[in-house]
Structure 1
Amino acid sequence: CIPGNLDGWDVVKGRVQPVSALPLLAVLTLAATGTEMNPTGVLQNHETEEKLGYRNPLMFPRHSFLDPTFTISVPKNYTAYGIADLIAHCLEAFFAKGSAPLSDRVAVSVILEAMEAGPLLLENLSDYELRARIMWASTLALNGYTGFGRTFNGDWGVHAAGHVLSLLFDVPHGASLTIVYPAWLKYHSGRAKERIERLGTLLFNNPSVNNTISNLEQFFIKIGCPVKLSEAGIHASAIPRIKDVMVKNSVSGTSWLLTAEDYPELLRLME
C-alpha cells in the first residue's frame, strides 16, 4: 500500500516503495514458483513491452497451505513446466557468484529430487506422494536455501530472457526456461567452465561441460518441454523482434552480465 495517486508500474520498477501490504495467505495449486515461501512475483506491461520481477518483504505470505491434492488437476504439460521451473531456480542460484559449497549441494539435491520424482509423476499424475515430493522441491528451490552465500541469491539472466519469450509469444514460463537454459550454458561454457564442471560432478558424477549441458537438455526433452524456439512455434524470423525487446528489458544476469552484443549469439543457440 502506498498513499497517493500513483502508477502501479512505478512500484514494479522500484521508483516508489510501498509502506504496507494486505496480509497474504497462499494456497498452493501449482508446484513451480515457490511463491508460498518467498516475497517475489512477476508482472508484465503489454503497453511498454516489459516483463519484470518484483520482490518485497511485504509480499511474504503470512500463512501458506501446501496440500498436494490441490495440484492433482494440473495437466501433464504444466506439471512438466513446473518441474522445469524449479530446476531452473536451483540453477540460477548455482550460477551466482560467491563460494558456497553447502548451497551447491542443497541446490543439486533439489534438482536430483525433481529429476527422480518428476518423470514418475508425469506417468501417474494423481499420485499423492509424487505430487508432494515435487511440491516440496519447488518450495525449497526458491525460498532462499539454495542461494545462501551467493550474490542476489541467484543470477536470474535466464529468467530475464525467458520473460521476453513469454511476453511476446505467451510461452509458458517453464517452457521458456527450457529453451533458454541450454543455450545460456552453451554460450557461457568457456567463461563458466569451472561452475559447469562443478555442476556436472555433483549432478551427474561427470565434470564434462558438454555432457552436463547435454544431460540437462535431454531431461527437458524427456519431460516434454521445448528446448528450441521452433519447438515452441517461434519462427527464426521473430529473432530480431525478440532481440529488440530484450534490449528494452535490459536482459542480463547479476553475475553473468549480458548486453545487446551478446543477444544475437544467445538467440542463435536457441534456434
Structure 2
Amino acid sequence: MKQRNILWVVLGFVVLVLAFGVVTWASTNRSEVTADAPAEVAEAFYQWYTDYARPDEAGEIRNPMTDGAYRDSEFLAPVFVEQVDDILSAREMGGGDPFLCAQDVPMRYQVGEAEIRGDGATVPVTTFWTGNPMASRFMVELGQIEGRWMITHVTCTGEPVPLTAEQTVTAFYDLYLEASQRRNLLGDGGYRHLPFLAPEFVAKVEGLEPFMYDPFLCAQDIPVEVMVGKAEIVNGVARVEVTTSFAEHGFVVELTEGEMGWQIVDVICR
C-alpha cells in the first residue's frame, strides 16, 4: 500500500512537470511571435548591417556584401540569402545595395511599425542622407520560419519622403557637425550654402559678423553631439528643443514649412 502511494505521487509529479513544460513552451512561442517582433528583427539587422559598413576604429572600411558577412546573419531567411547571392553573382560592376536600396550607407535610418498579416509582416524603413532634404523609404518583408520572424525580402520602392520638422533639425546638425570637423563654416562663409536654412535666417546670421559665438550652436566650441527633441507646432511654426553634449546646454530651433519643406528660420539661445 505504501509503495502504491509513492507510485501515485511520482506519477503526479511527472504529469505536473510535463504540464508545466507544455505551458512554458506555448508561452515561449507566443512571446516569439508578437506584434513588435518583426520591427525588432528589422531594427536588429539594420543596426548590425550599418555598423558593419561604417569605418572601424582603425579607419578600415568593410562591406557586408563583398565580405559575404550577410550570409551569417541570424535575421535573414536562407531563401533570401540565396536570392542576394544570385543578384550579386549576376552583377558585373557597381549597382545598389539590395538591403539598403542605395549605393551608400545612410547617415541614419528609422524602422517603422510592422503590419502583420497572418504568418507574414511588412516593416517600412526610412533612410536619411547627409544634406538631403528628402528621405527614402523601402519595405522589409518578414515571415515566420520555425517560430521566428526572419527577413524574406526587401522591396525597393524608390519612394521619397519629406522630412518632418525634427528630422530637418537632425539632418542640419548632422551635416553641420560633420562639416565643422574639416572647416570653419563661420569663418569661410560656408554656412550660407548649407541646406535647411531659410534665406532670412542666413541674412540674420550675416548681421552677427564678426562672430563672438556660433549662432547655430549657441556656444563658442563645437559639441560632440546634439540631441533633438520632438517638435511642437503652433500656427505653422515648429519649435524644437535641442540639447548638446555640453553640460546643461541647449537651445530652441524654429522652423516654418514651405515649398522646399521645413526650413530653419531662427535659433534661440537660452
The TM tier, using the shorter chain, reads under 0.3
**Which structure: greater helix fraction?**
1
* Higher CA-based Rg: 2
TM-score, with structure 2 as normaliser: 0.25
Highest relative contact order (Cα 8 Å, sep 6+), 1 or 2? Answer: 1
